[in-house]
Structure 1
Amino acid sequence: MGLKSQTIFSNGKPISLLINNRNPFRPFSVRSALLSSSWFLESLSSVISSRKRNPNSHFASWNPRNMPNLPHSLRFHYPSFSFSYSSSTNPNASSRISRSNPRQNHNSHLPKVNSDEFMEIIALVERGGDDMELKLNQMNPRLSVTSVSKILNLLNDRGVSALCFFNWVQKNCSDFNPNSEIYNQVINNTGLLEDYESMLVLLTELSLKRHCLTEKAFGFLKVFSYDQVRIGNSVERIVEILNRVKGSCHNSGIYALIKTLCALNSFNLAIFVMEETARKRSYYHVLIAAKCRSGDFQEARDLFDEMKRFGCDPNTKSYNYLLGSLCKKEKIAEACELLEIMENLGYLPDSVTFEVIAFHACRLGRMDAAIEFLYQMMSEGLEPRITTHSAFIKGYFWSGQIQDAHKYVVEMCGKDKHSSNMNYTLLASLFQKSGRVVEAREILVEMIEKGLKPNFPVYMRVVKDLYKMGKGGLIADLKCRYLKFHPITDNR
């Protein structure tokens, strides 16, 4: 293989690295590293077996859900770990802002509509009639984005057309500035009522405004999914519309439609959408992720051959989907085989590939093996992702290796300074959530002394918990240290 071994030391422990002696510019074989690691084929199986035999072991009590709450980008890279997907993974779509985000509601200064007015508006829209707009004008409600969103949700649940109401809001509420989520709800309403002409008009308008579609626009397909003829006809009409629409709604709409159909396990219809529009690698990734999520690994692998036939060659990201799923299902032999295929085809491992392996080792409590792959990754010039650091810190912490979690944060502060702030803040948060508030404060003090500013919500949670404990002195000292990031200026 042309590999030579080089040993470095981490926290006093020897770490063996595999270096490609033939071509130092080509990353080493991950598969070779796995095969050389005793844990992966032998110890890993024994760990799995012992966990099943002894569910009360120290590590079995650790909940894998306490592993990193991955950001949206990795959730899509990592479908195998049962993390939810987000439309932010759509390369053609802008990021969505959650409803809880105050920046989403541009009309937050408006007074809230009381419950009586709210239900009266619903009743008016539901009744319809020529006098609906007149009565709404007489009510003169001050509707925020959040209020309109709630009304649209209720109208969709009741199968009532929302177009007249939406047009009235746009015309009469000068402060109302609809966002992408609102528009997606209205598109969903037209689909639910099978009003495809209105859908075309709306999509054309949205593309001009550069809005993007998400799965919410096609939520009505879930209602249609119980009737195969109905959902088939609907998808056919939607594809015709998307092919006529240009701009942002075209690409984002196709992507969101394929994603919606895959979530409904309507894979044949998803393939039909690609046949009628375009075959892209990103579309196939959605299919591969869905197949992996449902455990259909052979069908997922068959998609790789199909991609090649249609000129959508897979890349490392494509294989990472399948690799993550195999590791989660503890199919170690298949994972090794896949890594060999990747190597033979020339697909070099990236930071996500390493993270899949390291995450799996952390999940099984094999932190020694995980750290070995981390240093191997760094030796190849690949920068660890924030989620990789999070996996290690949480892995150490929730398996009871608190000191090792702290050592990891300190050591990475010198090796990967870009992640230092988040790593320290995460560790402080873990201490605070586990009731070890004084230790959480010590972590905040340590990071402040290094010139790192703590995350404000975490800082405030620690201060509040210290207040409940009557630790006024510790609070005063922490606040004094935190003020270095907000110096008081004399305005005289």
Structure 2
Amino acid sequence: MNPPKRNSPPNQPQLSPKASYRSIGHSFDHPSFSLHGQFRLLSVSSSDQTSESENIAIGKSGSNVNAKQISGIIELIRSGEDDLELKLNLMGLGLSVDSLIGIFRFLNCERISALRFFVWVRDRNPSLYKNSDVCSLIIDNCGWLDDYETMLCLLREFRSDCICLNEKAFGFLPVLSSSNDSIMKSIRRVVELLHEAGGSCRGSGICGLLTMLSTLDLFEMAKFVIEITEKKASYYSILILEKCRRCCFSEACDLLEEMRQFSCDPDAKTYNYLLSALCKHDRIAEACGVLEEMKKKGCPPDAITFEILIYFSCRLGQLDAAIQFFDQMVSMGLEPRLTTHAAFIKGFFHSRQYDKAYNYVVDSGVKYKDSGNMIYSLLARLHHRNGNLITAGNILIEMMDKGLIPFFPDYIKIMKQLYRSGRTQLAGDLKRKFSRLRSESGLSKFFTYCFVCVVDTSRLSTSVVRLHHNIIAEKKLIQVSHARELACSHQEVPTDNPMNESVVYLHEENGL
């Protein structure tokens, strides 16, 4: 592959600001080609060691896409031939999201229009077209080409489909601007387009812009965005989160004070960023000071505030302090989350206070019935991992005697190991009680409890896996529909990003 040139070759059609993206021979509403199911999304595999340009484009790609084929796609797009779409069809490749991201990034760096390729992707697979990263990178592509008219057209299309943008949409801004005045002018122009597009693109786009600027340590530019848009807690929270990630705690506190000066009082989510960052660096005393400040300033802590303090206290072996935080939380009428229970159970367990861990599970199973299934299963799992096989089996039997359905992977692992170790009577009791619960419980409820956190279903029967996937897909569909309704109504859109949960630490350590 020849070294890429900075400018596109003469035979590549260039999209001027006057050329709408609808004029390239494709309507977004009328796909030009049909592959009759030939195009498919493939699983991700590791990237190949390739040339520099190929490495940019490859990332992680589908199993039938190699470096040479990716390079071929890039060269086809670079050439801008009239039959580009037909040649892409004939290649018969299945591109993953990761390989698409790599291709778009390479095209953006080379300032090559990716519009026709984007439309082709949209026609082949709508799920890829609606991917936030892919849509953000085509906006970035328009920015590299200074094609703001096409950018606005795309933003309007994304708004109609309730598609959200992220920080990848604005990578061109700091690179193409030679001075602060220049970047501020470009930022203002982009913000105006986001306002004009409205809907999901406006809110998510501004948050993405703030995230990008903060990540690049361009905090003054990020403040400029807030100044020309709106002074609101969710915008400042993005800056505070990045300051906390950099351990710039005093500067994060300065931002909190700045918020108050503009009558933009921080909420619990904003404080939680600072709390979790302090706790991650074992500065628990300072975190407690932040908690007291929240109360004095009239900002009531939420369940996650206390969970952060409980989690890190348990991790440091300070279980008495964790219990005090728990008591404060309950006295405020806040119900502990499942991950809060997990922090206590693991805290007691790892400090070898097995009786206290058991008593906590029994008491919490009575007080917080919705958590009973998972906390009993977690305790059984911990004993199983610690080699206490009989104890783990007895815990599962006890929970099933109370009508609680165990987490299926824990049940099946413990039962099989009991059989293998010769504890056939205990294993038989487990199997009988599990079968009884299955027959007494509604099928949907039974599988919802059994598979709520399943990751590896490779050893389950096809029918069980299919039912599990249907249940999970239905839950995700409800969440996506809710998010789109909020986006279309100009409200804040919840995502799976930790920012919406206000939790910076990792919950996987809790085992849930």
What do residues 333-378 of structure 1 show as CA deviations (whole Å, max 9, x unaligned)?
5445444433333333333333333233213211122123313422
Is 1:134 the counterpart of 2:134? The answer is no
Q: Distance in 1 between matches of 2:417 and 2:171?
A: 42
Write out aligned runs for 1:93-492 (5 A). Answer: 114-115=64-65, 118-119=69-70, 120-139=72-91, 141=92, 143=94, 147-159=95-107, 161-171=113-123, 178-191=130-143, 195-218=147-170, 235-331=187-283, 334-434=286-386, 436-462=388-414, 475-487=427-439
Whether the 8 Å contact between 1:291 and 1:300 is mirrored in structure 2 is yes
SS in structure 1 of the partner of residue 439 of structure 2: coil
CA RMSD, aligned part only?
Answer: 3.7
Structure 1 residues 339 and 380, CA gap change in structure 2 (3 angstroms): closer
Whether the 8 Å contact between 1:107 and 1:175 is mirrored in structure 2 is no
Cα offset, 1:380, TM superposition = 3.5
Cα offset, 1:209, TM superposition = 0.9
What do residues 263-282 of structure 1 show as CA deviations (whole Å, max 9, x unaligned)?
22221111111112111111
Whether the 8 Å contact between 2:97 and 2:128 is mirrored in structure 1 is no
Q: Distance in 1 between matches of 2:177 and 2:412?
A: 47
Q: Name the count of aligned residue pairs.
A: 379
Q: Distance in 1 between matches of 2:417 and 2:172?
A: 45
Q: Distance in 1 between matches of 2:374 and 2:366?
A: 14
Structure 1 residues 461 and 194, CA gap change in structure 2 (3 angstroms): farther
Q: Distance in 2 between matches of 1:228 and 1:436?
A: 63
Cα offset, 1:161, TM superposition = 4.0
Whether the 8 Å contact between 1:206 and 1:249 is mirrored in structure 2 is yes
Unaligned runs of 5+ in 1: 1-105
Structure 1 residues 484 and 297, CA gap change in structure 2 (3 angstroms): same
Cα offset, 1:118, TM superposition = 4.9
Whether the 8 Å contact between 1:215 and 1:259 is mirrored in structure 2 is yes
Of structures 1 and 2, the one scoring higher in RCO (CA 8 A, sep 6+) is 1
Whether the 8 Å contact between 1:107 and 1:176 is mirrored in structure 2 is no
Q: Distance in 2 between matches of 1:184 and 1:471?
A: 57
Structure 1 residues 250 and 393, CA gap change in structure 2 (3 angstroms): same
Whether the 8 Å contact between 1:163 and 1:186 is mirrored in structure 2 is yes
- Alignment-mate amino acid for residue 97 of structure 2: S
SS in structure 1 of the partner of residue 373 of structure 2: helix
Cα offset, 1:192, TM superposition = 5.4
Q: Distance in 2 between matches of 1:168 and 1:480?
A: 55
Cα offset, 1:435, TM superposition = 5.1
Q: Distance in 2 between matches of 1:220 and 1:425?
A: 49
Whether the 8 Å contact between 1:152 and 1:185 is mirrored in structure 2 is no
Q: Distance in 2 between matches of 1:408 and 1:180?
A: 42
- Alignment-mate amino acid for residue 192 of structure 2: E
- Alignment-mate amino acid for residue 202 of structure 2: H
What do residues 56-88 of structure 1 show as CA deviations (whole Å, max 9, x unaligned)?
xxxxxxxxxxxxxxxxxxxxxxxxxxxxxxxxx
Moved more, 270-279 or 429-438: 429-438
Q: Distance in 2 between matches of 1:290 and 1:475?
A: 51
Whether the 8 Å contact between 1:218 and 1:257 is mirrored in structure 2 is yes
Structure 1 residues 312 and 488, CA gap change in structure 2 (3 angstroms): closer
- Alignment-mate amino acid for residue 124 of structure 1: L
Structure 1 residues 443 and 198, CA gap change in structure 2 (3 angstroms): farther
What do residues 450-489 of structure 1 show as CA deviations (whole Å, max 9, x unaligned)?
2122233444444565577676665554333322343399
Unaligned runs of 5+ in 2: 1-38, 44-61, 442-512
Q: Distance in 1 between matches of 2:420 and 2:114?
A: 49
Moved more, 200-209 or 394-403: 394-403
Write out aligned runs for 1:64-83 (5 A). Answer: none
Structure 1 residues 270 and 109, CA gap change in structure 2 (3 angstroms): closer
Q: Distance in 2 between matches of 1:392 and 1:278?
A: 41
Whether the 8 Å contact between 2:129 and 2:135 is mirrored in structure 1 is no
Whether the 8 Å contact between 2:101 and 2:134 is mirrored in structure 1 is no
Moved more, 179-188 or 460-469: 460-469
With normalisation by structure 1, the TM-score equals 0.66
- Alignment-mate amino acid for residue 399 of structure 2: M
Cα offset, 1:283, TM superposition = 0.9
Q: Distance in 2 between matches of 1:285 and 1:463?
A: 47
Q: Distance in 2 between matches of 1:255 and 1:272?
A: 13
